[in-house]
Structure 1
Amino acid sequence: MSTKRVAVVGAGVIGLTSAIVLAEDGFDVTVYAEQIPGATSLAAGASWGPYLVQPYDRVQTWAAHTLAVLTEHADQPQYGVSMLSGIEASRNATVLPAWAAALPGVRSCEPGELSAGFTCGWRYKIPVVDMPVYLNALIARLLAAGGSFVQRRLDHLDELGRQFDAVVNASGLGAAVLADDATLYPVRGQLVVVTNPGITEFFSEDTGDSADLTHFLPHRDHVVLGGTASTINADSEIDLDVSAAIMGRCAAIEPRLASATVIEHRVGLRPTRPEIRVEIDRSHQGLVVHNYGHGGAGLSLSWGCAQTTRLMVIEG
């Protein structure tokens, strides 16, 4: 029996993990992407935490599987994954998100652990990921499994349907055109990367529906500061005023960041829709399995969604 040939469209964290799971299961996998690795994933912070995505039940399953895989990666230096303790805090009375409540060892913060102005918080440990390092490790892993890459822009998924037994659409915002999905929209995120003045724990503020976020994630020699969540904003240019505001919010929590040197600025456009789309679509030429619309939770759900995608390719 011949090996099934699969095309994966997109080389962000969703596309790469989908391609790896398929290639390591014996499929002949080719990744098509305009940018390798994908720009949105490359710009991410990033840490595990399935924020603000639906459908709830599927998200919990995908997140739990991904947490287990990332925890294993923390023991393998090439992935750039660290298990870090830290604090999520709120200025208003609130409850711990269900996904965080399931983490081992989670506990409420003592009053002395919270910065001025915060009324409650929780301490827990999660995977924190240096995305440029991580994505390069995924690319190397896919190549080692026999996968290949074609760097080109696609205008239609049917361009591949005649050449492959299945197409996995992990094109992120590109699915607005490739899948004719009018529900998909960008949420702009901006981050600042600075030298690490000795920070070893993460911090994240629960800012509710605000577009201005406050969090920092240490990665050995640097710290990623965030951030923003500007809805329906496709501007990928760096806004230095936004960067200054991000640094000010983070330095108010951790004063050592005020004197840190800026290494780079990052902007990414999160591919967002009312619900993540992981499903079979038979309206195209050949079998298409969609895997997109993860918003800011792509890393957090990647391995779980990849496994679901693999099963759909097999079933299809």
Structure 2
Amino acid sequence: MTDVSALSQLDQLKQFTTVVADTGDFQTIKEFAPQDATTNPTLILKAVEKDEYASLADKAVASCRDSGLSGQALVDAVASELLVLLGIEILNIIPGRVSTEVDARLSYDTEGTIAKAREIIKLYRSKGVDSNRVLIKIASTWEGINAAKELEKEGIHCNLTLLFSLVQAVHCAESEITLVSPFVGRIMDWFKAKTGQDYAPQDDPGVQSVQSIYNYYKKFGYSTEVMGASFRNKGEIVELAGCDLLTISPGFLSELQSSDDNVERKLSPDAAQSMDIERIEVSEKSFRWMMSEDAMASEKTAEGIRNFAADIRKLETMIQTKLW
């Protein structure tokens, strides 16, 4: 048996939770040896602004310059190429999967999301990457979840992000999505701003949201994996020990690595089985109503989409300076 007292908190966590690096920084990924890695437009933008990764943007531009495309179509092609090149660099380091995000401006466009996801997977496959190692990241709108449902039928695996409510999670599970990423810290941010209170990890509304999603899935036997994301302190992470996956930023990975405090498993399928949990019936009408009733979920989903879209526009501006 492993002597837990000799292990860092990070190594203890890895015993019952898959640790995912929430970064586009290759050196960080190498240092902490996560199973998977996830990116988003903000992280991609930060990565390509660094001198050591600027060559990937140049490579993407060179690859698409003679494609016959022009204007916005050319910019879009370079952006997709860049996302895939970064994803491949990450896959060369990790043993598992990388999440690559669809343009957030397609969050309310089911057919547009499906088309972009197919394009991204086609690019990965053209470069010899097994598409089972790629998760297409899509916002958890009604339209986004429905797009992911169709993609999953085609064997394209999805990660539903910007998820803030149980109804979003239930629709994902019933749509047989591979993975969901409920956002812990952003939920806590909203409640802290509204109430002016500070929350201990066990009372954190974001932690409690992920706990409810995990327990619902395990109670009713859904295969969709739960990956807690967007943390504001180490305590939130430790409180979710046992969650299927946790995607953790470099700063908190370092904190966990530097501490040997005990980590106890807080979530388990067996415990969920004995809980009294009511099923939620989800239709388009009930989904939209429950989202409207949940001010936090509505506001944070829309805000997240706006922020990711803003960073995509910044990325496009950078690409344009290299093209013209």
Normalised by the length of structure 1, the TM-score is: 0.29
Higher strand share: 1
User: Which of 1 and 2 has higher RCO (CA within 8 Å, sep 6+)?
Assistant: 1
Q: Which has the higher helix share?
A: 2
TM-score, length basis structure 2: 0.29
